[in-house]
Structure 1
Amino acid sequence: MNRFIVVDFETTGSHPRQGDSIIQIGAVTIDEGVVTGSFSTLINPGQAIPPFIQQLTGITDEMVADAPTLEDILPKFLPMLEGRTFVAHNASFDLQFLQDALLSQGYYTFDGYVLDTVELSRFLLPMQGSYRLGELADDLQIEHDRPHQADSDAIATAQLFLHLLHILEELPMVTIQRLQMLVSSFRSDLSELLRFMELQKLASLDEFAAKMAPESAEEQPQTQSGAEKWDVYRQLALRKKPERLKASLKRGGPNLLPFDDMIEQMIAERAAIAQNLPGYQRREAQESMMRAVYQTMATSRHLLVEAGTGTGKSLGYLLPAILWAKQQGEPVIISTNTIQLQEQLFHKEIPALKQSLPFSFRAATLKGRGNYLCLRKFEQTLEEPTEGSSQELLMVKGQMVTWLTQTETGDVEELSMPSAGQLYWQQVKSDTDSCLHRKCPWFSRCFYFQARERAGTADLLIVNHALLVTDLQAEHRILPAHDVVIIDEAHHLENAATHHMGKQFSTAGLLFLLDRANPEAGSYVERFAHALHSWMQQESGSSEASFASNLEKMSHEYVKLKDPAMQLTQLLYQWASDRGEETSDTGRDTVRYRISHFSGKHEKIRKTAQKLIEHMSLYGAGLDMLVRSTPPGEKVPYEVSSLFTDVSGLLNEWQTAMEMLHFFLLEPTDEYMCWMEIESRTPKKQVFFYAAPLHVAQNLAEPLFEEKKSVVLTSATLTVKDSFTYIMERMGLDRLPEDRVQTLQLPSVFDYEKQGLLLIPSGLPTLGKESEQEYLHAVIQGCIDTVRAAGGRTMILFTSYSMLRQVYQGMKEQLSDEPFTLLGHGIDSNNRTKLVRMFQSLEHAVLLGTSSFWEGVDIPGDALSCLVIVRLPFTPPNHPVYQARAEELKEHGKNAFMSLALPQAVIQFKQGVGRLIRHQDDRGVVIVLDTRIVESRYGRSFLKSLPPFDVHTGSWLTLREMIVPFLGGMQSLPDS
């Protein structure tokens, strides 16, 4: 398999059997790893090309009018196919058009090997964010100047295929063999390619062995190609780790200059930082932040810093934190809300600072244990039979086999897995319950313990809020001992604490647990029982009867589990769907509940839950008996101890699941608010349970603000109407002595009056007063007018997923003949990073997003010129957490709207507006389509919290005329 033809067809649609035809062929031949030829032609399809296809491909009816027909082209094209493997990106699409074309002209269908570069890319590029051809080409620096034209697509696909072949050639033999076992049942001929690669490697090894014959066998592996790259162990190849840092780089450092002198040396105009940080400029606000942060640490106080956009907040806390850590010989913990910012700090800012500072320092990241792969568990799942496994699951296993040759961290965030991977990860992630520690053969290679080791010697440890809160709950047993914490994106800390101090459970997780606990032949429960019995029989001659009897009882109980579990899922789903309302940007419906709701005609829910718990208890007793049958001691063989650990972990999960069922469905509680979520627009009828504590301020105040010497909280949005009162109350900081807490508000460095225009149309329909249809029509028209005026380059922010869908559909219908690309969150993709990347790469793009797009999206420059805010971002009044906290405030005589809803909305609004002006040269227009901002008394709170934009209100017909001249740079604008 070394002769290939890479093909791409442009077509009038997706269904050849329904009359769609080929309008362009692009093909590239590859022989022995070298491009040897190409072929390209337009084809007259004998029918009109749909407008959408013309827009997508740039191929018009006029262009194909004089082109040859399929009948003319096939005799020229067929010889290129002879004896070659057919390769395409989404090969099934192109292959069906080829086969239909051949049949229609009286030829035999193609019967050669077929390879799909999407499938290959998933296996060999497991850390890729997207597998679209355009994005793969961008990432791999493959020239692809005319996407959706067959000749350009074919050339790009050929270059991609050659890159993938090179990766395959570089992979070690054991990885190729592992992949081959996993893909043997695939419909494509990937297994044939892998077999060919294996034979090539074997031939190379034979040739190598012949050359090396005089040398000793022990010396040979050291000189083999690639041996320096791979750590091959137990039939898995891992990327070799760099040598461990020497002890001289441990914490503690040189005698540094006084802080002010050191800062001046670091940030002078010609200092190293200015050379290593692109776009760096000295900023007075940033220097004020540096000094305030350092002084806070030096005086053992807490500090809240609101640093406006453009301040350079990250450097504003990183530099003083590094200097403090080196001076004191103590670590500083940096906590962020998102893993994206955690990665950005570690992979972008930290390397620049390491290049810039005149002394060395160590930085590390640490995430929750469940983010890291357990190599022992993964090895064990690879031994499971592939028969009966879904192709998607085998794909995930294959991705991870390749990933081990690429990853240094074993962190799941690196992986781009299909949905089956999320459940599979629960089976192979690292956890405390199923860890063999030093008894594990993988211990020296364990990703989690290596991350812990790096964290333990770091001057700067970057974590996320979830891990920080988990450490507080675990009485500081997870993170290294520390006295100083810097919390970035601090306005999210309360929500992170609410989530991670609560409880979560799902019927999907329950059913997955039941599948894993299957005691039938081949399962690890059954393998453990037999391995244990075999070993004990050798050691002491124990009887098989007790093991067989226990397994038989477990199997008997196991068959009773699935029915009540499925019945409970259906009952809960029906109950929730009858009452649920959409409250989140995930598209899920939500309903808050109390245990008392499951009475009367809904008593069946409780009874079914009780029945399921009873059966689970009986099955769990069998698991427990198996675990307790294992004798303690060092002599237990690895196979038995490994399976023992997994079954012990399964037993702990089993007991936890029973406790969760009891907690969520049978045990009334006043300490938590409970709710369910369902995905009503998908065929998956699963129910997700959540419980959150009513109060978290006390849980934060004691272990964090009272115990730590210094905590710095920073964000671009900490104040409401220039006051820190709201955030201090929510965090519990108002409980501390006044002299322990300081605040600092730093304005943005941007000239908003010149750079930004804020338009607030008056007289628009108001939702609730006018009909929903009138309101929706006004919103769609406002968005369309903005998009046309800005030539795309627009982001539209929603508070409701259903509103997003309706506006998306309305805009798509009206803009169908115009050159705009709509990108809807949850419609075109659920991946925020992917959508933002597409938005930046496409001309005339429009991005529609819900709550996750209101912050953390950074699109500097001309790609984003207009921002439309459809509704003020109030938390839905039916959101369970808000609802419960609002009820409690009312009980204490407080106004829940003014005390909770309004401050939350203002902070979110500030975050949303902050997406627009990201650089001192940026220029943009914000349009707020919610008239409450000027018509209500509380609207002033939103406007007073914004930077000093040039604000205009009035008729939308007048306001929309300002967009084009403003974006064009004209300064004179009509007065409102």
Structure 2
Amino acid sequence: MNRFIVVDFETTGSHPRHGDSIIQIGAVTIDDSIVTESFSTLINPGQAIPPFIQQLTGISDEMVADAPTLEEILPRFLPMLEGRTFVAHNASFDLQFLQEALLSQGYYTFDGYVLDTVELSRFLLPMQGSYRLGELADDLQIEHDRPHQADSDAMATAGLFLHLLDILEQLPLVTIQRLQMLVASFRSDLSELLRYVEMKKWSSVEGFAEEGLEGGGENQPLDESATGRRQMPAESDKWDIYRQLALRKRPERLRASLKREERVTTPFDEVVEQMIAEKAAIAQNLPGYQRREAQESMMRAIFEAMESGSHLLVEAGTGTGKSLAYLLPSILWAKQHGEPVIISTNTIQLQEQLFHKEIPALTQSLPFSFRASTLKGRGNYLCLRKFEQSLDEATEGSSQELLMVKGQMVAWLTQTETGDVEELSMPAAGQQYWQQVKSDTESCLHRKCPWFSRCYYFQAREKANEADLLIVNHALLVSDLQAEHRILPAHDIVVIDEAHHLEDVATHHMGKQFSTTQLLFLLDRANPSEGSFLKRFAEELYDHSSDEGRDEVRATIGKLQKAFPPLRDKALQLTQLIYQWAADRGEETSDTGRDTVRYRISSFSGKHERIRKTARRVMEEMGVFAGDLDALLRRMPAGEQQSFELSSLFTDVSGLVKEWQAVLEMIHFFLLEAQDEYVSWMEIESRTPKKQVFFYAAPLDIASNLEEPLFAERRSVILTSATLTVKDSFSYILERMGLDQLPEHRVRTLLLPSPFSYEKQGLLLIPSDLPLLGKESEQHYLEAVIQGCVDTVRAANGRTMILFTSYSMLRQVYQGMKEQLGEEGYTLLGHGIDSNNRTKLVRLFQREAKTVLLGTSSFWEGVDIPGEALSCLVIVRLPFTPPNHPVYQARAERLKERGKNAFMSLALPQAVIQFKQGVGRLIRHHEDRGAVIVLDARIVESRYGRSFLKSLPPFDVRTGPWTSLREEIRPYLEGMQSLSDS
């Protein structure tokens, strides 16, 4: 398999059997990894090309009018196919057009090998964010100047395929063989390619044929250290090959590095001046760095708070450079005192950015060395023992998607140094499979595990314990509080970035979550069928037991096999009952796209008592099943050295029993036991066929849960964000965090405005004549919003992001805009419509011209699109939490009981902070320019609207009829463009 033809077809549609035809062919031949020929032609399809295809491809009816027909082209094209493997990106699409074309012209269909570069990329590029050809070409620096033109697509696919072949040929033999076993049942011919690469590797071993290894065969690995077989030449230098798996070799770490280096005695002011003076070190190592007065003020305030032992809240406007402003004093304090400082961020993305961008710049710039590390929750790391065991399970009956995930991870092991799931780009099946192979406390063998010295989690813990600066996320910080500080190294200083999220994260992690999916997944893991790990455990026990013990093992596994089907049926019945109950009452309360219903245990009474009765029955049957599992575990032989296989399976079954107990407690908590200090609710995905129910419970009071373990017990906690104040006051955040309960001298605040010239850089337009939702019909309001968005997009020539507070509104506006703009060449990107991947949508938005991005809450912050790509920002509605959201509703009721106004105390401050975040997406750099359009008339009609306006930077604000305001957008943007050019 060394002769290939890479093909791409442009077509009039997606269905060749329903009349769609090829309008362009692009083809590239590859022989022995060298491009040998290219072929390209337009084809007259004998029918009109649909407008959207013309827009997508740039191929018009006029261009193909004089082009040859398919009948004329095939005799020229067919010889290129002879004896070659057919390769395409999403090969099934191109292959169906090829086969239909051949049949229509009286030829035999193509019967050679077929390879799909999407499938191959998913295997060999498991850390890729997207598998679209354009984004793969961008990331791999493959030339692709005319996307959706067959000749350019074919050449780019050929470049991608050669890159993938190169990766394959560099992989160690054991990895190739592992992949072969996983793809043997695939419909594509990937296994043939893997077999070809394997045989090339065998033949490259000098003297292999003469040596005639004992027991040799095409599936025998050459080496892995556990068995003492030989390694392929040079493989031992690149890979750590162990127990039939190849890992990326990590550098040896010197034990001497565990000792903390001598403390730094240089005064703070001296270090700061060395770092940030004109032409100083940081300017040379951090592109685009500018000295800023606000940044220096923030640095000094943070260091003084650490020294004096006080807490500090800092609101630092966009452009302050707050990351550097807290990193530098944190590093210096850690080095002066010989104690670690914890940095906590809301998102793993910011965690990674700090570690891979800011930290290297500081490492190169500081006059002394320091150690920085990241740590995430244990469930983010792969357990190699469990992964090895899952690979040994029978593949019969496994879905192709699950086998794909396993294959991705086999290849990933040769690339990753961290074993962190965030690196992986997995399909939906991978999320469930990860639960089976992630690291956890319950099933850990610690030093008894043969993988212990290679364990990703324990290596991350070791690095964390050595670090001067440890970067975590809020979720892990809160988990450490709940675990009484047993997760993170001992520390006395914490810096919390994106601190406005801390309450929500604490609400989630101090609450409880459960789903019917978890229940059914756990039951399926406990299925004692042939090939399952439970059945394998019983078989190992049987082999290690006496005759009497064997009878008991056989009887117990028989009882489990008999009990499992009715137990799963009963659990499925419970799921269906709960789903129907929630579906009858649920309504959309957030941007998750799910319907939500708040409930109390008393809700399941009367005619709904059946839910509780079924829940009790499920718990009873699960209890009996758990008793039989315990009986199996008690049969474990004691007092003798056990095989790894038996002890490993014993650990997994023990972990399963603990998970089983946890699920029993969750069923009892959510369906049978009243909890006054929690608010409970269910969510369902009503627009999908899967009848899943998600249970949530959140504590009503977070301040008391944070005040003592986080603030009272710590020397200094720094909370910073671009949005902590409402009308320049910190009162709201102080109260929500419980900081208002501490002595005044223990808490300081600092408000630093943005250095940007908002009155010159930004225009804020507020139409005064838009309909008010609630006073006029919803349809009238929706039509006005659609028109406002369409007018803005036309005036800005795309380059617009539109922010929503609900998916339902986004979908309706998306459809309405599509109808009006469909023929004008604009590309609409809707979150949850075109993709659920925020990063992918943002990249497409930045890359494509005349593009509009529609997003919900995750787009209100954390999206950084500097420059002209984002010139207009539309905010459809003020971002109030829906009044029927369970957590807000319950907390509002509690505030009302205490005589407080829930709207003014809770709803308004939350909305103002979110609004500030949304507006902050527009101006990200001192050269950025643009317009914000707010389509919610409440901002000028209501008394509370002033709270939003007074909390914003000093934009050039204009109000009036929309027909007048919309005329100002284009001249404003063009004026900014000419100013930028000059």
What TM-score does the superposition give when structure 1 sets the normalisation length? 0.98
Asked if structure 2 preserves the Cα contact closer than 8 Å seen for 1:178 and 1:401, the reply is yes
Aligned to 1:247: 256
The answer for the alignment partner of 1:748 in structure 2 is: 754
Tell me whether 1:524 sits opposite 2:530 in the alignment: no
Shift of residue 268 of structure 1? 1.0
Aligned position for 2:815: 809
Deviation at 1:633, TM superposition (A): 4.6
Q: Within the alignment, does 1:224 sit opposite 2:230 as a pair? A: no
- Aligned residues of 1:779 and 1:807 also touching (Cα < 8 A): yes
In the TM superposition, what is the alpha-carbon distance from 1:639 to its structure 2 partner?
1.0
Letter paired with 1:110:
F
Matches within 5 A, 1:293-312: 293-312=302-321
User: Out of 342, 346, 370, which is 2:351 matched to?
Assistant: 342
Shift of 1:246: 5.0
Helix, strand or coil for the counterpart of 1:719?
coil
Q: Which residue of structure 2 aligns with residue 93 of structure 1? A: 93
Q: Is the 8 A contact 1:249 1:360 kept in 2?
A: no
Change (3 A) 1:701 1:105: same
Contact 2:929 2:976 in 1 (8 A): no
Offset from partner CA, 1:305-344 (integer Å, 9 cap, x none): 0000000000000000011111111100000000110011
Offset of 1:536 from its aligned partner? Answer: 3.0
For 2:241, what is the secondary structure of its paired residue?
A: strand
- 1:834 to partner: Cα distance: 0.9
Q: Distance in 1 between matches of 2:775 and 2:260?
A: 64
Question: Superposition pairs for residues 661-810 of structure 1, below 5 Å?
Answer: 661-810=667-816
Given that residues 170 and 226 in structure 1 are in contact (C-alpha distance below 8 angstroms), is that contact kept between their aligned partners in structure 2? no
Answer yes or no: is the 8 Å Cα contact 2:541–2:553 preserved in 1: no
Match of 2:886 in 1: 880
Query: Greater shift after overlay, 95-104 or 761-770?
Result: 761-770
Change in 2 beyond 3 A, CA 1:100/1:248: closer
Determine the structure 1 residue equivalent to 2:583.
Answer: 577
Is the 1:254–1:359 Cα contact (8 Å) retained in structure 2?
Answer: no
Q: Counterpart of 1:588?
A: 594
Partners of 2:662 and 2:630 in 1: how far apart?
A: 14
Which shifted more, 963-972 or 504-513? Answer: 963-972
- State the one-letter code of the partner of 2:251: P
Does the Cα contact within 8 Å between 2:274 and 2:281 map onto a contact in 1? no
Specify the alignment match of 2:102 in structure 1.
102
| Pick aligned residue for 1:556 from 562, 571, 574 | 562
Q: Give deviations 1:716-763, integer Å, cap 9, x for gaps.
A: 000011000100100010111000000000000100000000000011
> Which residue in the other structure is 1:26 paired with?
26
Instruction: Tell me, yes or no, if the aligned pair for 2:179 and 2:407 is still in contact at 8 Å.
Output: yes
2:471 aligned to which of 438, 445, 462: 462
- Quote the Cα distance in structure 1 between the aligned partners of 2:680 and 2:424: 32
**Aligned with residue 422 of structure 2, among 413, 432, 435:** 413
CA deviations 1:846-883 (Å, max 9, x no partner) are 00000111000000011100000000000001111101
Q: Which amino acid aligns with 2:186?
A: F
How far 1:209 sits from its partner (Å)? 8.1
Q: Cα deviation per residue 1:246-277 (whole Å; 9 max; x = unaligned)? A: 52474343533210111001111111100110
Which SS does the other structure have where 1:968 is aligned? helix
Name the CA distance, whole Å, in 2 between partners of 1:173 and 1:119. Answer: 20
**Corresponding position of 2:925:** 919
Matched, 1:958 2:971: no
Matched, 1:292 2:301: yes
Let me know the Cα RMSD of the aligned residues.
1.7
1:216-253: per-residue Cα shift (whole Å, max 9, x none)? Answer: 99999688233211000000000001121452474343
Give the conservation status (yes or no) of the 8 Å contact 1:85–1:114: yes
For 1:159, the aligned partner's letter is G
Task: Work out the CA distance in 1 between the residues paired with 2:394 and 2:531.
Answer: 8
Structure 1 counterpart of 2:902, which letter?
A: A
Which residue number in structure 1 is paired with residue 199 of structure 2? 199
Q: What fraction of aligned residue pairs are identical, expressed as a percent? A: 79
Residues 11 and 310 of structure 1, relative CA distance in 2, 3 Å threshold = same
The number of residues matched between the two structures is: 968
What code does the residue aligned with 1:26 have? G
Structure 2 unaligned regions, length at least 5: 214-222
Which piece of structure 1 moves more, 851-860 or 204-213?
A: 204-213
Q: Amino acid of the residue matched to residue 13 of structure 1?
A: G
Greater shift, 850-859 or 198-207, is seen at 198-207
Aligned to 1:821: 827
SS in 2 for 1:399: helix
The answer to whether the Cα contact below 8 Å between 2:224 and 2:244 also exists between their aligned partners in 1 is no
| 8 Å CA contact 2:224, 2:243 repeated in 1 | no
Q: Quote the residue 1:399 is aligned against.
A: 408
Corresponding residue for residue 535 of structure 1? 544
Question: Residues 217 and 348 from structure 1, CA distance in 2 versus in 1: closer, same or farther, beyond 3 angstroms?
Answer: closer
CA deviation map 1:350-369 (0-9, x unaligned)? 11111111111111100000
The verdict on how the C-alpha distance between 1:550 and 1:77 changes in structure 2, with shifts beyond 3 A counting, is same
Q: Is residue 549–residue 635 contact of structure 2 (8 Å, CA) maintained in 1?
A: no
1:366 aligns with 2:375: yes
Does the aligned pair in 2 maintain the 1:869–1:927 contact within 8 Å?
Answer: yes
Distance 1:57 1:451 in 2: 48
Please name the residue that 1:151 is paired with: 151
Q: Distance in 2 between matches of 1:745 and 1:253?
A: 36
What amino acid sits opposite 1:134 in the alignment?
Answer: G
CA 1:54–1:972 in structure 2 vs 1: closer, same or farther (change >3 Å)?
closer
Distance 1:633 1:784 in 2: 76
What is the CA–CA distance in structure 2 between the aligned matches of 1:562 and 1:971, rounded to whole Å? 64
- Deviates most, 237-246 or 567-576: 237-246
Q: Which amino acid aligns with 1:2?
A: N
Map 1:823-902 to 2 at 5 A: 823-902=829-908
Alpha-carbon contact 1:721-1:941 (below 8 Å) kept: yes
* Structure 2 CA distance for aligned equivalents of residues 676 and 6 of structure 1: 50
SS of the aligned residue for 1:861 comes to: coil
Task: Give 1:543 deviation, angstroms.
Answer: 3.2
State the 1:210 CA deviation: 6.7
1:632-656 deviation digits (Å, cap 9, x = unpaired): 4562221111000000000001111
- Partner SS state of residue 35, structure 1: strand
User: Is residue 508 of structure 2 the alignment partner of residue 493 of structure 1?
Assistant: no
Amino acid at match of 1:129: G
Letter in 2 for 1:194: L
Relative to structure 1, the CA distance from residue 217 to residue 937 in structure 2 (aligned partners, 3 Å threshold; closer, same or farther) is: closer
Written as runs of structure 1 = structure 2, the 5 A alignment for 1:626-645 is 626-633=632-639, 635-645=641-651
Contact kept in structure 2, 1:147 and 1:153, CA below 8 Å:
yes
Following superposition, the deviation at residue 17 of structure 1 comes to 0.5
1:482 paired with 2:491, answer yes
| DSSP-derived class of the 2:975 partner | coil
Measure, in 1, the Cα distance between the counterparts of 2:408 and 2:224. 33
Distance in 1 (CA, whole Å) between partners of 2:212 and 2:974 is 71
Structure-1 separation of matches of 2:196 and 2:285: 47
Secondary structure, in 3 states, of the residue corresponding to 1:444? helix
Deviation of 1:578 (Å): 1.1
> Structure 1 109/685 Cα, relative in aligned 2: closer, same or farther at 3 Å?
same
Residue 384 of structure 2, aligned match among 375, 398, 403: 375
Q: Tell me: CA distance 1:795–1:253, structure 2 relative to 1, closer, same or farther (3 Å).
A: farther
Give SS of 1:561's match.
Answer: helix
- On the 8 A contact 1:251/1:330 being kept in 2, the answer is no
Distance 1:588 1:246, change over 3 A: same
Partner SS, residue 872 of structure 1? coil
Deviations 1:803-859 (A, max 9, x none): 000000000111111121100000000011111111111111100000111000000
Contact 1:221–1:227 (CA<8 Å) still a contact in 2? Answer: no
After superposition, the Cα gap between the structure-2 partners of 1:971 and 1:190, relative to the gap in structure 1 and judged at 3 Å, is closer
Q: Is the 8 A contact 1:251 1:326 kept in 2?
A: no
- How far did residue 970 of structure 1 move? 5.7
- TM alignment of 1:81-230, pairs within 5 A: 81-207=81-207, 224-230=233-239
